[in-house]
Structures are given as structure tokens and as C-alpha cells.
Amino acid sequence: MVTASICTIGDEILIGQIVDTNSSKISIALNSIGVKVNEMTSTSDNENEIVRTLERCLEKTDIVIVTGGLGPTKDDITKKTLGKLSGAKEFVKNQEQYEIIERLLTARGVEMSDLNIAQSYVPDSCKVILNECGTAPCMLFEFGAEKYGHNALLFSLPGVPFEAEAALPKVLKIIQEHYKMENIFHKTICTFGIPESTLAKTIEEWEDNLPDNLHLAYLPNPTLGVRLRLSIYGVDKEQGERELEEESRKLEAIIGDAIYGVGEDSLQAAIGRMLKSKGATISTAESCTGGSIASLLTSVPGASQYFYGGIISYDNSVKINTLGVKRETIEMFGAVSEECVKEMASGVKKLMGTDYSIATSGVAGPDGGTPVNPVGTVWIAISGPDFLLTKRLQFHASRKLNIERFTSNALNFMRVKLQNDLNCNR
């Protein structure tokens, strides 16, 4: 199996100023083509440290991916250090990267400085992988077996996350060609609403009967639910896709309701797709979630096609005056009640003239809990052309996590209902 190490360079990671998100993105990408990551390391902007770390990683693994330390200022020494490590004789100008730098700076209205020009120079021992989104070129260094006991590839990528991410497809292609790697195809199935351990039990029999060349990984996430990644090895594209399709169909027969999409999907995107396919619209009435549901719904590009708007009715006066919740309802049942959340959902749907609506009222904490409605309680209502459904849930987390869970569960409640309705009409 081809192995890799990932090294990040930069004091800002070591002092905890920024969290390293590059390594996990790179690791996911490497895993997706069947490369195993054996180590992740962060080192400071210090030449000896960098050399020691890189030599250790080059000895240990086939591939080393380095991010960071490519900025124009003098504390960024990765390029110089890699030049030495690889025995470069001189630094040469890369004309194509030079032109990219010029274009980027012109677009920003900045004049090219000596430091920027210096960024287009690279050690003559490397191959340049153009960085289309930034000024620092990506570099590939190849080491023969005489140096580290085996052939090794070292990639140097920028530390800026979106620049590093943009370079990954090119890096993967080079690795796949270099190592003539076995085919591997993936399909990620997104589920929500079944806890990981229950899900594992529910699909145990299906999992046990998977073909030997098909692997399953659980990727749990508090807001995205549990995603199931199926990987198939050593087959051609057509067969791979057919087998992945077949297994996902079997899975759907077992946990259909819980599946909301594939790949990088989200509950809000799934809701958006279904609303668009119906030509329907939606609105929100939020108390305890304070705008989080609307904020997620509108995070999807094109949400204005189906999301009309929402009311955040934090104060009871807004529930009464704007949403039209009856004063007696709140006096009799309280704001955190099935009755109130029903009137909120109906109220906003009528007010904004939408086909569907979602409403929440609960206690996020840390204060405000009562014996009937302790911190972590939420009432959710969803409403549509011919239904008004409610649900009460109880969580036990911090204010922040409670709000996140109220929000994702409210979205999922609507998602399941829309999905079931669509399936019935098929």
C-alpha cells in the first residue's frame, strides 16, 4: 500500500493561533485514491526542524505532502529549505507562475513588488505545479531510492486552505500515474436521525454480506448526521458504479427514511431540491434557534427561489403581534409548548404566503429551564398544504450545541416529511 505523511510548517499552528484544517482535507483526498496516511506533523519555521522532520517522513513513507511556509516574507523558509534538501543548484524563474502572480495582483489593484517577483522563482530541482489561485507555486520534488531507501515524492503546497485544496486534484493525478494505483471508487450516503450505534446494528446484516472488495466507513457529524462511505477496489469504472449503486439500493430498502442525499449533501440542500421540484415555497418562525434554521436554509445558493423569509420571535410580543399567536395560548400553555409552536408555524405560513413552514420554541440554556421544560427542551412544528405536525425533543448540551441540535432536527423533520410525500406520489 502506498503511504504518505502530511507536514504543516508554520509557527502560527504550533502556538495554537490557527487550527490545521489542511491536513484532514489532504488526508481525505489521499484516502480517496487508496493512499494510507501514517503521520501528520506540524513543525516551526526553523530550517533544522523542517529538514529533520522531512527526512524522517521521507524515510518512512512513499509520499510527503508539505503545506505552508511559502509566503513572500523572510520568515517563510520552506522553499529555500526544500531547495537545499533536494540539492538544487540555483533558483529559476517560472514564467507561467509569474504571469499568474501578475494577473492576480492587477485584479487586486496591487503593484508587483520584488517579494512578489521572488515568488515566481523555484529551485531547479523541482517540477512546478501551477497555483492558479495564489502567488506561491506548488512544487514536486522526486527522490531516488539511493537517498531514502525507496523512491519518494515530496509535494509542497501553500498553507492558505483554499489554495491547498485547489491543488489537490493535480496532486492526486500525479500520484495515481506515478504509482499505477489500483482503481478505487466511492459513494458517500448521508443519513440523519439514527444514532451511529443503532445504525450499525440496523445495517449489520447488510454490512456483513458486502463483497470483499467493498469497504464501509462511518463518518459521524453532529449536524450532518452519520455519513456512510462505501469504497470499492480493483474494478473498472462501470462495474464500480454499478456495484455501488446496487449496494446503496439495498441500504435504502433498510433505512430509506434516514437517507437524505449523497456526497457533500446537507439537510438544507435536500429540502431546497424537493421544494424546487414542487415549485413550492417555505418560511420559518424561530424562537430558541434565533435564526439558525433560516441561516442554514439561505446558505444554499439559489435559496431565494423557495425561501421567502422568516420571523425570529424571541420576545413573546413578536409571537403575538407579528406571528399572530394568541395571547391566551401563551398564558395558558407557555411559549415552549405544542400549542404555541403550532400557531407560530401556521402564523408565518399565512403571513408570508408560503406553502410550507418550520417553527421552533424551546430552552437553549444555560438559564430559563423549568421542571416541565428543562434546558435542552424544544418543540418543533412543521406545516404544509395539508398537514401541521409537531415533535418534542430533549437534549442535554451547552447552549451552542443545543441550538445546533434543535436546528438540525427541525430541518430533518421537514426533510423526512417532504421526502415521504414525494415517494407516495411517485
Residues of the shown chain interacting with a copy of itself in the complex, contacts defined by CB under 8 A:
13-21, 23-29, 31, 37-44, 49, 53, 217, 219, 284, 286, 289-295, 297-299, 301-304, 307-315, 317-318, 321-322, 351-353, 365-368, 399-400, 403
* Non-local CB neighbours of 347 within 8 Å, separated by 6+ positions: 285, 311, 322, 323, 324, 325
Q: Smallest distance, Å, CB 117 to a copy of itself?
A: 20
113 versus 321: smaller Cβ distance to a copy of itself = 321
Q: Whose Cβ is closer to a copy of itself: residue 212's or residue 367's?
A: 367
Smallest gap from residue 222 Cβ to a copy of itself (A): 11
Phi, psi of 336 (to 5 degrees): -95, 80
Q: Which is nearer to a copy of itself, 54 or 403 (CB)?
A: 403
Q: C-beta of 126: minimal distance to a copy of itself in Å?
A: 26
Burial class (CB in 10 A: 0-12, 13-18, 19+), 107: exposed
Residue with Cβ nearer a copy of itself (213 or 291): 291
Quick check: helix, strand or coil at residue 194?
A: coil
Nearer to a copy of itself, 126 or 282 (CB): 282
CA distance 308 to 94: 51
Cα distances from 3 to residues 150, 218, 347, 415, in angstroms, run 12, 22, 58, 40
Amino acid making up residue 14:
L
Nearest distance from residue 221's CB to a copy of itself, in Å? 9
Largest CA distance in the chain: 84
Query: Which is closer to a copy of itself, CB of 70 or CB of 363?
Result: 363
Contact between 261 and 224 (Cβ < 8 Å): no
CA–CA–CA angle 150, 36, 79 (5° rounding): 60
* C-alpha–C-alpha distance, residues 9 and 339, integer Å: 56
Q: What is the H or E stretch that residue 346 is in?
A: helix 338-352
Which DSSP category does 46 fall into? -
CA 320 – CA 324 distance, rounded (Å): 5
* Nearest distance, CB of residue 43 and a copy of itself, angstroms: 6
Q: How far is the CB of 388 from a copy of itself (least distance, A)?
A: 21
What CA–CA distance (Å, rounded) separates 174 from 181? 11
Look at residues 80, 39, 77 and name the one whose alpha carbon lies nearest to residue 60: 39
Task: Indicate the helix (H) or strand (E) that contains 401.
Answer: helix 399-424
**Which residue type sits at 425?**
N
Q: How far is the CB of 419 from a copy of itself (least distance, A)?
A: 23
- Please identify, using beta-carbon distances, which residue of 87 and 302 lies nearer to a copy of itself: 302
**Bridge-partner residues for 64, per DSSP?**
5, 154
Task: Considering the complex, state which of residue 88 and residue 297 has its C-beta at the smaller distance from a copy of itself.
Answer: 297
Q: Which is nearer to a copy of itself, 240 or 347 (CB)?
A: 347
Beta partners for residue 152, in sequence order: 143
- The H or E element that residue 237 is part of is helix 237-255
- Residue 420 beta carbon to a copy of itself: minimum distance, rounded to whole angstroms: 26
Closest distance to a copy of itself from the beta carbon of 144 (Å): 25
**Residue with smaller CB distance to a copy of itself, 298 or 419:** 298
CB of 131 to a copy of itself, least distance (A): 18
Q: Is 119 exposed, middle or buried (0-12, 13-18, 19+ CB in 10 A)?
A: buried
CA atoms within 13 A on the CB side of 204: 5
Q: Least separation, in Å, of the C-beta of 212 and a copy of itself?
A: 20
Around Cβ 426, how many Cβ atoms within 10 Å? 4
